[in-house]
Amino acid sequence: MMWHAERINSAYVLQVKQESGVTGAERLLLVLTALASHGKAMSVKDMLGATGLAQSTLYRQVALLKRWGFVAEDAGHYAPGPISLQLALGFDINSLLVEASREGMCQLAKASQESVGLLVAVNDRVICLEMIESSHSLRCSFEKGRAVALKAGASAKSLLAFMSEKSRVETLDRVFSGDTQGRAAIDAELALIRAKGYAMSDSEVDPGVWGVSAPVFRRVARGALANASITLMAPSSRAAGREMQFADWTMRTAHAISERLQAA
């Protein structure tokens, strides 16, 4: 079972399109984000739909990105270029969060025999930074580098519940725009998640996929702020009867990683 990439959240695109004084740099970043989140090479039509940019504007951004090696073209389709790969490699080597998390994630995956991911929230999406796969042939995986909407599932709800109040309110205003009932329900659910210390879901993103997620905190000037979430994922049938054990292990792992980050 695999959770697939999702195009840029439509609410985020609309926000960028409606903002006055959007800079050229922001347009460049919008194109790069579309290419990074699509999961395969994109046609011009794909990019126009994903970014909401005018065609002439899109061509200017793509030409500049190609010249600098951030975008590569093949038969009229576009994908991240070699400089983007260098950035990804540099991230893997230098990311303190990934480095601090990997050992605990491996231990959790070994103990549970299930997949374990490290996830963050960016632009109203959940993005996987690191993944330790289950040893089972049937496994659930949030593939490294892929993304889903910051709305449903254990990972999304853990990230939402433990981000700063200001960020949470602004994010929910966008994601649940026009959905008053859904917004009220998620507010109540996130309050319960904060009280318990973890989020749990079953089949909210993909049918038959169960997950539990706990926050990772980093040190900031005024205390600690949720930086990411550790998520254990398993087929629903294999998680049945072990939900609380998996939740306890996941919280312990996230707590240990938080301590390591705050001591760094």
Dist CA 101 CA 196 (whole Å): 22
Together in a domain, 101 and 84 = no
Q: What is the mean pLDDT of residues 155-176?
A: 93
Mean pLDDT: which of 53-62, 147-156, 230-239 is highest? 230-239
Sort strands 77-80 and 115-122 into parallel, antiparallel or unpaired: unpaired
Together in a domain, 111 and 184 = yes
First to last CA, the chain: 36
Count the domains in the chain. 2
Strand (E) or helix (H) holding 205: none
Q: Is residue 92 predicted with pLDDT exceeding 80?
A: no
- End position of a domain, from candidates 88, 122, 140: 88
Together in a domain, 57 and 112 = no
Q: What is the pLDDT of residues 99-112, one digit of tens each?
A: 889 999 999 999 99
The answer to whether 185 touches 147, Cβ cutoff 8 Å, is: no
Together in a domain, 175 and 152 = yes
Together in a domain, 24 and 79 = yes
Together in a domain, 114 and 72 = no
- End position of a domain, from candidates 53, 88, 123: 88
The confidence score (pLDDT) of residue 86 equals 63
Dist CA 17 CA 106 (whole Å): 42
Together in a domain, 137 and 237 = yes
Together in a domain, 78 and 116 = no
- The structure tokens 């491996």 sit at 106
Q: What is the mean pLDDT of residues 217-223?
A: 64
- End position of a domain, from candidates 88, 109, 142: 88
Together in a domain, 62 and 77 = yes
The answer to whether 8 touches 123, Cβ cutoff 8 Å, is: yes
CATH number of domain containing 26: 1.10.10.10
Dist CA 242 CA 73 (whole Å): 48
Together in a domain, 126 and 193 = yes
Domain that holds residue 33: 2-88
**CA proximity to 131, closest of 166, 98, 165:** 98
Together in a domain, 44 and 123 = no
Predicted confidence band of residue 220 (pLDDT cuts 50, 70, 90): low
Mean pLDDT: which of 14-18, 31-35, 211-215, 222-226 is highest? 211-215
The answer to whether 243 touches 250, Cβ cutoff 8 Å, is: no
What six digits make up the tokens of 180?
């008053």
Q: What is the pLDDT of residues 70-88, one digit of tens each?
A: 888 888 898 888 777 667 6
HSE-CB of 217 using CA atoms within 13 angstroms: 19
The answer to whether 62 touches 28, Cβ cutoff 8 Å, is: no
Together in a domain, 35 and 83 = yes
The confidence score (pLDDT) of residue 79 equals 85
